[in-house]
Structures are given as structure tokens and as C-alpha cells.
Structure 1
Amino acid sequence: MTYATLMVHLQPGRSNVAVLAWARRLASSFNAAVVGIAATQPMPMAVGDGLMAADLYELSRDEMTGEVGQAEAEFRRALAPTVTNLAWRSASLMTSLPDYMAREMRCADLLLTCADASDYFDNMRRVDTTDLIMRAGRPVLLVPALAETPRMDRMMIGWKDTRETRRAVVDALPLLRMAAHVTLAEVRGEATRAEGDSRLADVAVWLARHGVDAECVSSPPGGDDATVLFALGQDRGIDITVAGAYGHSRLREWALGGVTRDLLVSGQRCSLVSH
């Protein structure tokens, strides 16, 4: 298994330095093609009887068309010198941006997207991360804005004995094989130490058969899982966390291997997640 084609999502109107740096590094490591993608959703504006204000809509659409063009130029400047197989896709839609992105993911093995706290507020330019991960059908690498220097030597698997986590570990194998050190970590919850150790031993044997040596760490609960795993990642200088993604559509929230979104997008640590 390898990543033959990467898709990198650029955010119009913002700097995409970090996610492009990671795309460049991974494309070089895997000799991969790279598809850039951007999407916007001009916001209809209503007046009086509810009709759209056409002039305001056109102004919004033209502004975002320019920003998408700038994003494409940024994409090509960053990658053209080192990546031979580049492609670009973009759309301005009145329908769901995550649906569009998920459909386009049919051509790629891994999606790279920005992950920063500021993306909560701009519905015209941002793609809802929750929906995207739930619908993509591919692993997603979340790249914080501060992670401008790609590092992938130290990786941590946030293990939970679930379908989503098993899927994420399979999807992460190409990266895990490249890492100098892999930590396989679980917060045990109500399980005994022996039960936790037995689970991790099974996973470690499976990883070894796929060329990945992992150090097992079974941690007792200490508050919430997020705090425990985040502290472990800090102590070990983890570059990338691998975890399963669990969606809660009613609450419009998500958690990854017990680690909340805010913890995962902070600092310079990337996260590879699958649903």
C-alpha cells in the first residue's frame, strides 16, 4: 500500500503554507501525483420579500473567484518545481461543500487539509471538517497552520478497539513504515491492565508483520482521554497522531480516538484520521 495520489485542500483567502509544505514532502516521499482543490459557496443575501440581492451576490462570487485563482497560483508555485504530476479542481457551489470534496476524493488515496481554530466562522470559504471526514471515504491528514516544517519521525496511534481506529491504522501504514518511532497508546478506561496489555499486544504483532515496530503504552484514566493522550504526545515529541474519527451528527461535533478537535489542531502536531 502506498499513497499514489494526494489531494490537497486549499482555503481561499488564507495562507496555505503549512498544508502545501506537507503535500510537497509526502509527494516526494511517495512519488505521488497531487491534485489541488478549492471550493466556495457564495452566500445568498435576502432583502424585503426574501429575494436575493443580485448585486451583492455577484460581488461575493467575484471576490471568491479571485481568491480561488490566487489559491491555485499558490498551489502551483509551491509544488510545480518538485512535483511533475499536478492537477487542479475548483467549484463555486450553492450545495454542500463537503459533498463536493468527498466526491472528488474518488481519485485520491489521502486528503490533506488545513486544521485551525479560525475555520469555525467563514461558511462561504470553509469546508466543514466534521462532514468532510465523515463522508470522504479516505484518510484525512489534518495540518495545523503552525506545522510549516513537516516532521514524521515520531508517530502515535491513539488506540480504541473500534472499527474506525482499525481503519485508521490500516490507512496510516505508509506513514507508519517511514516513522523512526511509533507509540501505540491506549487509555484503558474501566479495563484492567492485563486486558489493555493484551489488546495492544495483538495490535503490535499485526503492525510488526507489516514492517512497523511499535512501543505499547497502556495508560490508566486520568481525567479525560484527551488530556492523557495529549500529554503523552507532548512528552514524546509526537509529530503525527493516528486515530479513528467518530461523528455525532446531532451535536455537530467529533472526537478522534478520545481526543477533542481543539487539542488535535493546536500546536504543530498533525493528525491522520479515518472514519
Structure 2
Amino acid sequence: MAFSTLLACMRINRPNADLLAVVSDMAERFGSSVIGLVAKQASAPLYARGVGPLEPPEHDLQAFMEHASAAEAEFRGALTKIGTLEWRPQLTIGPAYEQVANEARSADLVIAPIDDQDLSFLASGQTRLGDLVLRLGRPVLAVPSGASGLELNEVLVCWKDSREARRAVADAMPILQSSRHVDVVEIVETNGVDESRRRLDRVGDWLARNGVEPRCSSEVSTGAEARQLSAIARDLKADLIVAGAFGHSRLREWAFGGVTKELLLHADRCVLTSH
């Protein structure tokens, strides 16, 4: 089990050095092919009454292709050591996240940048990372601004006994198997520690059967779960956090906060998440 193909979601008209540094490290480590993608929704009205879908206007298409060409040059220049590269620019008449989700059919792992302001990974008219995570059907490796690559000396797995967490850990298995140290941590209330330890013993056994020797621990909640997990990650000097996405309803979590949103919004390290 490995990542044979990576899909790199690049920004338009903005630097992508941080994203591409992580893409390069992952592709070299796993011998992956890389698809580079820029996608943007055209600014024109999508439909005319009685006519049906419209083509993107010429001026939109020309400006997009100019920006996409610059992004392609950056993509190919940063990944000269990677054997197989493919470039896919897409100007869409529908939401860009739909196009990105469709392109994910070709990949094992999607790598996308985090915007510190609003979690968008591309310019205006494209999409938000939260929308993308919900629709991909693939794990997402989210890259914060300023990343210089991805070492795998220490990985923190944020465990919950949920479908999303189980999916994220399974999706991250090639990374966990390649990491020097893996810590699995569950945040629980005081009265839930014993049961949490029993769960984590079984998680640890499953990981060990897959070639991962984790350190598992139950931590008593001290308040905001995402902040506590981020503090643990800093103490461990974790290179990567693995966490399930959207354990609550998407509307409730994105509107009122939640671990997924907080981990991504305040990310100071890469986060691998699945839904």
C-alpha cells in the first residue's frame, strides 16, 4: 500500500513553494507520480435562459491560461527529480471544488495548501478546503504557509472512536509505516480514561500488525480539544498531525468551530485528514 499518484492543488497567481516542497518530499519518498492542478470558476453567469450552459468568456480564458502557465512552470521547476509529471489546468463554469473532486479520481492522495485567512487553497472563485475534504473521497494532506518540506520523524495521530478517525489512520498507513515515531493520543474526560486506554490498546495492536509501533496515551481534557492537540504536537515536535474530519455535522462544525476547523485554521504543521 503506497501513494502511487499525488494530486497537487496549486494556487493561481500566488507562490506555491511551500506546497511543492511537501509534494516533492512525498513523491520522492513513495516513488509517486504527480498531477499538478489549477482550477478556477469563470466569472461569467453560468447559464442563459433557454440556452443552457455557457462557455467561459474569452477574456477569462486568456487570463486564466496566462496564470496557469506560470503555475505550470513553477510546478515543473520544483519537481525536476520526479519521474512522471502531468499538468491539468481547468477553467470551469461550475464550482471549482467539483472539478477538483472529479480529478481526485486519478490520485491516492490530494495535497492542498492552507490559507491562514479563510482556509481557501486557491484564488477567489475557486473553493475552500472544507468543501473539498467533504467531496473528495480521498485523504487530503493540508500544507500550511511557510512549510519547507515534510520530514517524518514524528507523527501525531489524534484518535477518536469514530468513522472519520478510523478512515484517516487507515489512509495514512503508508506515512505511519515510514515514520520514525508515531504517537496516538485520545483526549477524554477523567471518567473516560480507562475505557480510552482499552480502545487504544486495540488500536496499537492493529497498527503493530501493520508494521507500526506506536506510543498510545489517553490525555485528560483541559478545555479546547484542538488547542490541546496542537500543544501536544508542539511538545512532540510532530512533523504531521493525522486526524479525522468533521465528526459533527459539517454545518455545525464549520459554523461554530470544531477540531477540524481549528486544526486547519491554526495549523503550524502539515495535517492529513479524511472524511
Taking structure 2 as the reference length, what is the TM-score of the superposition? 0.88
**1:11·1:125 contact (CA, 8 Å) conserved in 2?**
no
Q: Aligned pair count?
A: 265
Shift of the 245–254 alpha-carbon distance from structure 1 to 2, 3 Å rule, reads farther
Aligned partners of 1:196, 1:274: CA distance in 2, in Å? 22
1:62-77 to 2 correspondences below 5 Å:
62-77=62-77
Q: Secondary structure at the match of 2:11?
A: coil
Question: Offset of 1:226 from its aligned partner?
Answer: 1.1
Q: Structure 1's 120 and 198: CA in aligned 2 closer, same or farther, altered over 3 A? A: closer
RMSD: 2.5
The one-letter amino acid of 1:115's match is I
Residue in structure 1 matched with residue 53 of structure 2 by the alignment: none
Q: CA deviation at 1:249?
A: 4.1
**Which residue pairs with 2:54 in the alignment?**
none
- Could you tell me how far 1:260 is from its partner in structure 2? 4.1
- In structure 1, the gaps of 5 or more residues are 46-56
Asked whether the equivalents of residues 12 and 123 of structure 2 are also in contact (C-alpha less than 8 Å), the reply is no
2:157 and 2:245 mapped to 1: Cα distance? 13
Deviation of 1:41 after TM superposition, in Å, equals 1.4
1:202 aligns with 2:202: yes
Q: How far apart, in 2, do the equivalents of 1:99 and 1:260 lie?
A: 21
Give aligned-pair identity as a percent: 35
User: Displacement, 1:116?
Assistant: 1.9
Query: Contact conserved, 2:11 with 2:123, CA < 8 A, in 1?
Result: no
What is the one-letter code of the residue matched to 1:237?
A: K
The DSSP-based 3-state class of the residue aligned with 2:216 is strand
- Code of the residue aligned with 2:102 in structure 1: it is R
Letter in 2 for 1:179: S
2:272 alignment counterpart:
272
Range with bigger deviation, 144-153 or 155-164: 144-153
Distance apart, 1:62 and its partner CA: 3.0
Please name the residue that 1:212 is paired with: 212
Contact kept in structure 2, 1:9 and 1:114, CA below 8 Å: yes
CA distance in 1, matches of 2:155, 2:123: 32
Structure-2 residue corresponding to 1:108? 107
Tell me, in whole angstroms, the C-alpha distance in 2 between the residues paired with 1:245 and 1:190. Answer: 24
* Distance in 2 separating the partners of 1:191 and 1:2: 39
Tell me the equivalent position of 2:145.
145
